Amino acid sequence: MTQSSLRISLVQMDIAIGEPERNFARVQEQLERLASAEVRPDVVVLPEMWNTGYALDRIQALADPDGERTKAFIGDWCRRTGIHAIAGSVAERRGTEVRNTIYAFDRSGLATADYSKIHLFRLMDEEKHLTAGDKLGTLSIDGIPAGMMICYDIRFPELARKLALDGAKLLIVPAEWPHPRLHHWRTLLTARAIENQMYVVACNRVGASGSTSFFGHSLIIDPWGEIVAEGGEEETVVTADISLETVDRVRRTIPVFEDRRPPLYGNHA
């Protein structure tokens, strides 16, 4: 049965670079707090690379082999609590390759989808240490079609549009988006929501990694481009209720998808 609404919580947290044990403990503390809340969320989202941070010079040694620790840890929590989790993304080692990968879990604790970042960010040398993904990130949350992207991916509108054309009504974006590009972050996420007439939920980290600082401002944006909830620059949990009926209403009001003319767009359709 498809739900018409979801309560979503974004865990905006600091990440200890190169310290998986500390990061797992932090995440566990946050998850248990959410599970014991008087009104619990339906979905919890974590930030990008929360297990290791951008310790790329040591990433082969630090990455989670086949994501097994992440899947066991988050899957157990979902099974105990009956809450969905989009486990941010983690550094995941597959053989000799390391990928920046999201795992999604349903209420029973089953890992139902995964997505490895397909656009690697050269400004942080990702392409030197990580292997790019080669498939789209799609999933269903209580019957609601959704898509997944990671951080730098939001600069590629073709990806969000493809997910929308495939049915996504909700776009989930874990990130480590740094200063000084707050304006880019808010503008790009808002644009993805407006042009694709879908909810965008984006969970960004806070804190610092070396000389790079991260500003948080995790966002939940509706299909009109209105900000439903936004974090500040400190550790917090950003929570909001979203109505998926809003997506259908906006798409009926301004029928963008019906008015598209793909033959004129060529390879950009």
Q: Identify whether 117 is a catalytic site residue.
A: yes
- Catalytic pick from 78, 151, 176, 203? 151
Q: Identify whether 71 is a catalytic site residue.
A: no
Q: In angstroms, how far is CA 163 from the centroid of its own chain?
A: 14
Are the C-beta atoms of 120 and 130 separated by less than 8 Å?
yes
State the first-to-last Cα distance of the chain, in angstroms, to the nearest integer: 32
* Residue 132: DSSP 8-state: P
Contacts of residue 60, defined as CB under 8 A and 6 or more positions apart, other chains included, come to 93, 96, 98
d(CA 141, CA 78): 13
- Catalytic pick from 78, 92, 117, 203? 117
d(CA 126, CA 119): 9
Q: Are strands 64-65 and 5-12 parallel, antiparallel or unpaired?
A: unpaired
Q: Identify whether 48 is a catalytic site residue.
A: yes
- Using alpha carbons, select from 206, 208, 222, 205 the residue that is nearest to residue 45: 205
Outline where DSSP puts E strands in the chain: 5-12, 43-45, 64-65, 84-86, 90-94, 97-105, 111-116, 137-141, 144-148, 170-175, 199-204, 206-209, 212-215, 219-221, 227-230, 236-243
- Using alpha carbons, select from 105, 103, 118 the residue that is nearest to residue 150: 118
Catalytic residues: 48, 117, 151
